[in-house]
Chain A
């Protein structure tokens, strides 16, 4: 079965959709522990992430791998006995109010999930109050504010302000993501970090979560 798991990892890295689904289903049917299937997929996604960082893969490959990972998880997840202590950390994410784009956010969600994070995805056009409410309910370590439009800069700031007003700012690290963000926007918004690409974003989140655990 180890060989099968390795093949599954490889199929994901090579974006071989048909083979990956076939292997995952065969493994499930032959009684392989879903946890092992999950970790084979995770391993594949980690490798895809590395290839992305090395510029061997681009967003086209990341989206393809993300779709593949999500598809396999839909089959495997119902059979996984979840236990939250296995997660790297908890991230709350959403596209801020007034922006209904989700391509970037979805890439981040799939990469973080594949890297062992418990990700709570609030979707698009998320008002500041909903972020505050979700922080209270889920107690995440990191809050990710996504957006594509230049118009989504203001709402990021309003969301950080609302988190501050609710007295929750010290409890979470805030990262902003999207094409238009940079150091100045991060300062303007009052975030702790920013990223234009998923690899940088994940590195920042890994560092924060690692520091918190240390």
Chain B
């Protein structure tokens, strides 16, 4: 078979990926990656996790090597953890708001945020960075958030969450802000270069943004996860009003961060912007709470995306099976539903022919499965969806060091064989 050049490859892969979303049958099932900083990525390139956490060039070199070594149809890796507490920057500083939506290790060093822990700092060198969140607003302070989310997040939460900004009018705080700005510029340049490089090796590109369900934003960045779960029982009305007060900022954030200037359009092989929603509370919520509180706001975000021609790529953390029925309220073939560990038979039963689903490669298979087992599993999953509306991907955003490279290759070869 003649080797395709990068442009032809991108075209072929973009079509495969987009057909899966539209529920049309592609030439073969696409394989995608959406990863964070993880040990397999770094070790595959000869680095430690700390190396790729603190050096963007090393991180993206590792990502490119991974993309070259293991042929996927679309993918990207982010050298950081979510930082959506800055969402309201979108009103006054739309040009920088998307770039500060990620916390990287160098930014963590500058801001001293309490949300994240990093290798080579609070953690050992070969340990993945971790998001642990925290409580930065008391239950009796909800009204501050409800009345003025922008003021509350920036003037109350941020100084509590970022130790460098603890005294907002201080020299430490001003210095930290200037350094943060410089770091954001460096980070933006590194991402830009990585996108070009990925494109040069035949990976299709799409405009990408990330956003949270406001309830997750409250759980992860404002009230702490456990407290938020309890707030559904302790202060449900306040929680709901606060989430609804944040929603306009979320909608605006997605809208602005996915706008592509006309001169940039030619860069993209996939025209529809992808909006990544990593969900967190979903698995924990009783279906009643999910339907009454969480889902209506997620649905509004999804509907706004669909209306604007964007494709929401929603990662349903944990076991999302109890909430599958809500998908039927959405128009067909407009989203990518990325699952971590649902009951896949149930997913096929409810969603086949309705929405494109993604995932299905659990770490256990990649760590301890035989090559035959990997092939059988991939075949079973493709068959389950009749090769339509299914994107194979990793169950989590992280690949541990124990993953066997030959198992990844086996998954790719299985897809080629099955078609």
Contacts and interface: CB of A to CB of B under 8 A. Distances in A.
A151 B341 contact: no
B322 A17 contact: no
A118 B373 CA distance: 41
A192 interface: no
B286 A184 contact: no
Contacts of B400: 149-151, 153-154
A99 B286 contact: no
A149 B229 contact: no
B285 A101 contact: no
Interface stretch (B2-10, B81-89, B363-371): B363-371
Interface stretch (B160-168, B230-238, B304-312): B230-238
B278 to A, nearest CB: 14
A59 interface: yes
B362 A59 contact: no
A153 B367 contact: yes
Contacts of B234: 17
Contacts of B287: 58
A87 interface: no
B385 interface: no
Secondary structure call for the A interface: helix
Interface in A151-167: 151, 153-154
Contacts of A99: 130
Given A98-B123, A184-B368, A196 B226 contact: no
B402 interface: yes
B333 interface: no
A10 B365 CA distance: 44
Contacts of B128: 98, 149, 151
Interface residues of B, number: 41
Contact of B286 (A58, A103, A149, A183): A58
B127 A98 contact: yes
Contacts of A60: 229, 232-233, 284-286, 289
A185 B400 CA distance: 13
Given A64-B233, A99-B130, A184-B368, A149 B398 contact: yes
Interface string B18-39: 0000000000000000000011
B396 interface: yes
B319 A196 contact: yes
B243 to A, nearest CB: 15
Contact of B225 (A64, A100, A103): A103
Interface residues of A, number: 33
Contacts of B401: 151, 154
A180 B233 CA distance: 28
A93 B32 CA distance: 36
B130 A103 contact: no
A211 B236 CA distance: 44
Contact of A188 (B130, B289, B367): B367
B322 A184 contact: no
B284 A58 contact: yes
Nearest to A98: B127
Nearest to B340: A179
A149 B130 contact: yes
Contact of B229 (A55, A63, A125): A63
Given A100-B130, A150-B399, A180-B396, A59 B117 contact: no
Nearest to A58: B286
Contacts of B322: 55, 58
B318 interface: yes
A17 B230 CA distance: 10
Which of B362, B400, B401 counts the most chain A CB atoms within 10 A? B400
Interface string A59-96: 11101100100000000000000000000000000000
B71 to A, nearest CB: 22
B117 A100 contact: yes
Contact of B284 (A15, A17, A59, A153): A59
Question: Chain B CB within 10 Å — which of A57, A99, A106, A150 has the most?
Answer: A150
B55 interface: no
Interface string B351-382: 00000000000111101110000000000000
B132 interface: yes
A151 B398 CA distance: 8
A55 B289 CA distance: 14
A212 B155 CA distance: 57
6 contacts: A103-B226, A151-B400, A153-B400, A182-B364, A184-B369, A185-B368
Interface of B: 38-39, 117, 123-124, 127-128, 130, 132, 225-226, 229-230, 232-234, 283-287, 289, 318-319, 322, 340-341, 362-365, 367-369, 395-396, 398-402
Given A59-B229, A98-B128, A188-B368, 6 more contacts: A58-B286, A60-B229, A151-B398, A153-B364, A154-B400, A185-B363
Interface of A: 15, 17, 55, 57-61, 63-64, 67, 98-101, 103, 106, 125, 149-151, 153-154, 179-185, 187-188, 196
